[in-house]
Chains A and B, each alone.
Chain A
Amino acid sequence: MDQPIVITHVSAVSCLGTNLGEIASSLLTPPRIGAVQNFEFHSLPASQPCFPVRDFDPEAILGKKGLRTKDRATKLLLSALELGFKSQFESASDESRPGLSIGTAFGSVSSIGDFLSDAIVNGSHNVNPQAFANTVINSPTSNANIRYASRILSSTVSTSFNAGLDALAYAVMFLRQGHARCLIAGGLEEISYYACTGLAATGLLSPFGSLLPFSREAAGTLPGEGCAVFCVETEASAQERGATVIAEIAGIASCFDPKRGPLGYDPDGHGARHAMKQACVNAGIPPEEIGFVAASANGVAAADDMEALALSDLFPKIPIAAYKSKTGECMGASPCLSMACALADMKAGRISGLGSAYPLRRDVNLVFESIPVASKQYALVNAFSCDGYCGSIVLKNRT
């Protein structure tokens, strides 16, 4: 890249915690699987195992004012920003307050679906007009933009389960082009009746209540939710602000795989391979320089097979972390939550393992027991979606 784009801060609202320290600790504990069933207008036929953000109390983080009309997706984003960036927003001038680039697969599909359900149940003429504003997909980002009075950028990106990674790509481009010097970018998703119902109907959910990436028994994934956001800025901006650099976005690549196999994934993994290779090319490093890979694997056999095949070609011996076993499939937020996990592991000097070993579908160097991170500086984070979106990001450790 022309000028280094660096990450200087991370904030999250997730089942693993809200900052890199908490996430690093949580990665060493068993998966925190919960369940959901009842929502405002609908109920799932049975309790759905998932990875919710437990004990989420937005009022405690954000105060009561203005929350009544905000949906869960918006509250997750606002909370992550409040916890991580409140002082940065408050201390910056109008012109330098960071803009936002946020990825989400659905926006708040709860708001959209409930608005429609309300119209069916109570009549179109009786729906709450205030609720309409929450039905646009950019509503969470825009609400955050308004709360923190950012004048530079308010962009929402929606590329299925790759949305968070593509929101980072959008931010990196915005910085490279000189439109801004400092942005906050990340991914966001809420657990909702509509997403759970859609994933179930599509056949993506695990019938066993477990999420075992690359497992020989892999039969589906479990939904998760959360938000992870990063302060991304030019190296010069970080130096001027005196910000501590955590990592560098050394390379990022997005591409599209038009071939559709089982559940939408290309069994040959052409796009996955291209994204990983191109991210390394953009970083100016050979694949051998990658210390470990944070896989996109989510327990969906077709997805895991595709990624395993591509990994075995490009990174046959490199340790593979599969963080979705601890976060769930957080859809548009997943790439950013995986990235936060990778950064937490890099900072802790290890690659956290999944725990008890299980038979694998293919020959993947999956890390079950935590191991020290190699002396290599780089990690690769993958995001591959059933819609054909493929993306990879190379992080260079700067801690």
Chain B
Amino acid sequence: MKKDRVVVTGLGVVSPIGTGADAFWNAACKGVNGIAPITAFDTAGFRTSVGGEVKGFSPEAYLSPDQISSMGRSSQLAASAAKMALAQAGIDITQQDPYRVGVSLGTTMGEPQILEQGIEMIYRARNSASGLPADLPAKYPCGVISANVARSIGACGPVIMIPTACAAGNYAIGYAFDLISTGDADLVVAGGSDPISKIAFTGFNRLLATAKELCRPFDKNRDGMCVGEGAGALALESLTHATNRGATILAEVLGYGLGCDAFKMTIPDPSGSGGILALQRALDNAHLSPDQVDYISAHGTGTEENDKTETLIIKAVFGQKARSIPVSSIKSMIGHTMGAASAIEAVACVLMIDRGVILPTINYTEPDPECDLDYVPNSARNAAISVAVSNAYAFGGNNSTLVLGKFGG
């Protein structure tokens, strides 16, 4: 089978520390903490009141009033990020064959605020749904997110939503990689999106998985994750397509791998079996050996179980080299943005590769003997990165690793 290489030519991000690749990058390099008291809903009585909300997001900058009113927040975040990515890539979809342009997105909760709104209306009306606005239900199914993005950018090719929880962004980018490398599409906007939601906040609180104040991945005193929101999007295209139009190439997608724990819904396999499979398969898919990896973007949620298990996974795959590879978690700054997380982390990896700086793990004060790798504590670090891997793990033991590299021509 003829296979084309897949390159990244545009980035879009909406995050708790900044909207747009440059704003996000500048804040992340400074180690800005995006975790703050949640304003979207009442958090009284919960274990925590903080999360990673996107502040000052104005979808009007990217979408028309009609588009905004027809979309839930997750779609607005995703479509805005997609438009940013295409703008940076310098792509005018009207000049493309629209059937060769696709969208591949992931999410964990989809558009939960729509369902929350609908159910609250039903209860307020004494269990009657007769007053539900006719256009409300259609905004809910998570498939509308990728449909809204496709409609907003004019894509008519393969459009897919892969809601594999907190690994969804990597799954979506992986599928986009396959679509392009097999020649089924020339260009795919890939990424993930999730809004802050009462349901996720409630659920993770009830699981006692949330941090009280700060997200401290790999720190001995870590006490959980912080629920966040955001979107990340990458303009991916075949090398042939990018070269023909003279595009600036930011990085190359080298491969990806998936692996399953087959263990529990909410707890990772303590042996890290699925994460190890995903990492090994990703390196195999990219035709790379562990020795060639320069940086690891960790799933790094800040929970006791995840960080311990992920450290074990990295050691299992990289052996002695594990201690010399920088590993960092940007969730320390933006919280866990669910289905957007690995998409935003992919954006971060591309920026790190392009700009030669490794983003830090902030809030790191005390090493944990069980997490004994180089977590790039608290300060960004200058370093050339040729190959970065990005891990993302999810409820259900759905594990994934994406491999990105510097484009070498």
Interface positions of A (Cβ within 8 A of B): 2, 42-43, 45, 99, 105-107, 109, 112-113, 115-117, 119-121, 124-125, 127-129, 132-133, 135-139, 141-143, 145-146, 148-160, 162-163, 166, 169-170, 173-174, 176-177, 179, 194, 197-203, 254-258, 260, 264, 271, 274, 278, 385-389
Contacts and interface: CB of A to CB of B under 8 A. Distances in A.
Given A153-B258, A160-B144, A194-B115, A257 B182 contact: no
B161 A158 contact: yes
Nearest to A271: B156
Contact of B115 (A2, A112, A155, A264): A112
Contacts of A170: 160, 162, 175
Interface in B249-306: 258-266, 273-274, 277, 281, 285
A203 B138 CA distance: 11
A339 B192 CA distance: 30
22 contacts: A2-B1, A99-B260, A136-B163, A136-B394, A142-B398, A143-B265, A146-B264, A146-B396, A153-B258, A155-B164, A155-B398, A156-B162, A158-B143, A159-B143, A162-B143, A173-B179, A199-B137, A255-B99, A256-B156, A256-B157, A387-B144, A388-B151
Given A43-B127, A112-B115, A256-B147, A201 B141 contact: no
A133 B274 contact: no
A112 B197 CA distance: 12
Contacts of B157: 255-256
A135 B238 CA distance: 36
Contact of B45 (A105, A125, A157): A125
B146 A159 contact: yes
Contact of A202 (B138, B155, B161): B138
Contacts of B119: 113, 116-117, 120
A151 B129 contact: no
A194 B164 CA distance: 22
A150 B150 contact: no
A142 B158 contact: no
Contacts of B182: 173, 176-177
Contact of B260 (A151, A176, A256): A151
A201 B137 contact: yes
B143 A163 contact: yes
Among B109, B133, B396, chain A packs the most CB atoms within 10 A around the CB of B396
B90 interface: no
A183 to B, nearest CB: 12
Interface residues of B, number: 83
Contact of A143 (B161, B274, B394, B396): B396
A55 B182 CA distance: 45
Contacts of A116: 115-116, 119, 198-199
B132 A141 contact: no
Interface stretch (B202-210, B308-316, B363-371): B202-210
B262 A149 contact: yes
A136 B179 contact: no
B397 interface: yes
B130 A258 contact: no
A158 B281 CA distance: 25
Given A173-B182, A256-B157, A258-B156, A151 B203 contact: no
Contact of A203 (B134, B159, B184, B266): B134
Contacts of B208: 129
A255 B158 contact: yes
Interface string B104-127: 000111101001101110110001
A128 B159 CA distance: 35
A258 B151 contact: yes
B227 to A, nearest CB: 12
A254 B156 contact: no
Interface string B141-184: 11110110011001111111111110000010001001101101
A274 B109 CA distance: 31
A201 B159 contact: no
B375 interface: no
Contacts of B207: 129, 132
